[in-house]
């Protein structure tokens, strides 16, 4: 059991959760402040895990769709949504690189929180095809973040507005970063 952003989350040993809860909550606050949500937005949470970020977002937007390849994590996300009486979120069990290219609905915001390897090229191509107005990319590896941002920004469709590093693991070389991109042609 963990309290994150005022929500009660149940965790299982086989599912992923940010171990530095304070730093994760601080980065969530930065994200929420910069997004300045008005409650009408639709948000796609790619690589959503157990709903760590999906559920706080769902409290501030019209709808959240979370996508995660690990079935146990999605089951946990659904349980956490029910536990917190959050009904405007749905979770899909799928690899983001397989699921996203098949979508035609355009979310207002895409939130990316991929593993260390970053986003698969199919994910970035699907985002460029769908053209959401904003992208928030949380990364645990600066090299893959830079690679993926280069693809998104050199497309001519997005510009990087802000980049915020966060020290989730003090006294180590590991740095989390969150990047904020907006469509150049809204």
Helices (H), 6-116: 21-35, 54-58, 71-83, 96-99
What are the catalytic residues? 140
Cα separation, 17 vs 24, whole angstroms: 10
Is the separation of the CB atoms in 49 and 82 below 8 Å?
no
Is the separation of the CB atoms in 138 and 112 below 8 Å?
yes
Residues 6+ apart with CB under 8 A from 150: none
């Amino acid at each position: 059991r963990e309290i994150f952003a005022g929500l009660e989350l149940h965790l299982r040993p086989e599912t992923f959760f940010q171990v530095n809860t304070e730093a994760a909550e601080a980065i969530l606050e930065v994200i929420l402040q910069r997004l300045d949500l008005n409650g009408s937005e639709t948000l796609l949470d790619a690589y959503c895990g157990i709903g760590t970020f999906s559920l706080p977002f769902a409290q501030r937007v019209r709808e959240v769709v979370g996508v995660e390849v690990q079935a146990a994590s999605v089951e946990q996300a659904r349980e956490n949504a029910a536990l917190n009486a959050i009904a405007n979120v749905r979770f899909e069990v799928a690899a983001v690189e397989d699921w996203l290219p098949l979508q035609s609905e355009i979310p207002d915001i895409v939130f990316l929180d991929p593993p260390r390897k970053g986003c698969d090229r199919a994910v970035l191509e699907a985002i460029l095809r769908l053209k959401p107005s904003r992208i928030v990319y949380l990364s645990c590896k600066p090299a893959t973040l830079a690679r993926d941002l280069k693809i998104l920004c050199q497309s001519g469709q997005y510009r990087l507005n802000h980049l915020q590093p966060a020290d989730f693991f003090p006294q180590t070389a590991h740095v989390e970063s969150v990047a904020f991109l907006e469509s150049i042609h809204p």
